[in-house]
Amino acid sequence: MPKVRIFSTPSCVYCVTLREYLKKYDVGFEDIDVSKDEEALNEMVEKSNQMAVPVVDIDGKFIVGFDKKKINQLLKIKE
């Protein structure tokens, strides 16, 4: 199973939707709250060139936003 990390904030609606989607397909993930973790925020911005959340790291490939098509492709999810 790929390593999945989500850079998110508690108030982000798309972050909640993304977490629910991954749980639906039993995808394990690490949820990183960038509103409380400045080091993680810096990593997210450095690797994605974005300040917006969610940012998903799937085995080192970064996806900005809840891009279901790209997430499904990398995780081999078939809806």
Confidence of residue 65 (pLDDT cuts 50, 70, 90): very high
Average pLDDT value for residue range 48-63: 95
| Per-residue model confidence (pLDDT) at position 1 | 78
Q: Which of 25, 29, 26 is nearest to 63 (CA)?
A: 29
Rounded Cα–Cα distance for residues 73 and 39 (Å)? 29
The pair of structure tokens assigned to 23 is 């749980």
Q: Write the secondary structure of 47-68 as one string of H (helix), E (strand) and C (coil).
A: HHCCCCCCEEEECCEEEECCCH
Domains of the chain listed by start with CATH number: 4-75 (3.40.30.10)
- Strands (E) across the chain are located at 4-8, 30-33, 55-58, 61-64
pLDDT score of 12 more than 90: yes
